[in-house]
């Protein structure tokens, strides 16, 4: 079975498992909500994300594994944020550690653009936190670090734009339909992860060795 299909099958289980776990643990936060359409959606979305990454990648196996491990942690964060409106450090901390380590050996990015991506992501969300008082959780700032490190500059701009566009569209829909109020808190973590995955898949150079990307650019010019 091809690697993309294997990754999709594994992440179908990961997505469903993360959604179910977030509904029952920890006991003090969980609402013990029964399985629903969201359970299926989380599984399918996780499978599609893993499949897209593995279809698009030209990186060595160890780098692909790093991407998949980070994606698995992000799936858990998305499930928890949707269910409990929080991004637990139990998942955030290892994600940040892996992303920091990967940043210095990522075959697709040089160190300076990598660090600049993280600074840009944190600065952007920090500004939103100031402008939209109470509208951005501190966990989102933590999540911005690994996303910025992995996308780097200038691709982090595309990731943040995608996340903001989706969050804005969904927020408007929810307000218009009366499901939330103008001051209601809407989890931003899932949109950050969607923007991250979409940008990784859409930008070929992020999933190819730097030397290969340079040859492609020079050859095209």
pLDDT of residue 66: 97
pLDDT of 76 higher than 70: yes
Domain ranges for the chain, please list them: 3-220
Tell me the Cα Rg of the chain. Answer: 17
pLDDT tens string 12-46: 999 999 999 999 887 677 778 888 899 999 999 99
Q: Determine if the pTM surpasses 0.95.
A: no
d(Cα 16, Cα 125) in Å, to the nearest integer? 29
pLDDT tens string 179-221: 666 566 678 899 999 999 999 999 989 999 985 544 444 444 4
Residues 158-184, mean pLDDT to the nearest whole number = 82
pLDDT tens string 99-133: 999 999 999 999 999 999 999 999 999 888 777 66
Among 70, 158, 147, 161, which residue's Cα sits nearest to residue 114? 147
Residues 159-182, mean pLDDT to the nearest whole number = 84
The confidence band for 168, taking pLDDT boundaries of 50, 70 and 90, is: confident
């Amino acid at each position: 079975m091809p690697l993309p299909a294997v990754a999709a099958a594994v992440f179908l289980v990961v997505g469903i498992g993360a959604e179910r776990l977030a509904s029952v643990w920890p006991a003090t936060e969980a609402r013990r909500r029964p399985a629903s359409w969201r359970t299926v959606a989380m599984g399918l979305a996780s499978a599609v994300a893993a499949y897209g990454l593995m279809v698009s990648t030209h990186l060595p196996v160890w780098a692909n594994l790093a991407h998949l491990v980070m994606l698995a942690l992000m799936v858990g964060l998305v499930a928890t944020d949707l269910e409990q409106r929080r991004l637990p450090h139990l998942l955030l901390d290892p994600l940040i550690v892996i992303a920091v380590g990967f940043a210095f050996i990522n075959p697709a990015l040089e160190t300076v653009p990598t660090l600049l991506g993280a600074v840009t992501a944190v600065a952007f969300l920090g500004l939103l936190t100031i402008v939209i008082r109470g509208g951005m959780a501190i966990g989102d700032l933590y999540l911005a670090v690994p996303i910025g490190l992995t996308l780097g500059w200038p691709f982090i701009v595309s990731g943040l734009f995608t996340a903001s566009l989706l969050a804005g569209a969904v927020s408007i829909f929810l307000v218009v339909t009366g499901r939330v109020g103008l001051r209601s808190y809407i989890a931003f973590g899932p949109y950050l992860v969607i923007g991250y995955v979409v940008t990784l898949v859409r930008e070929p150079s992020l999933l190819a060795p730097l030397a290969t990307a340079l040859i492609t650019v020079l050859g095209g010019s």
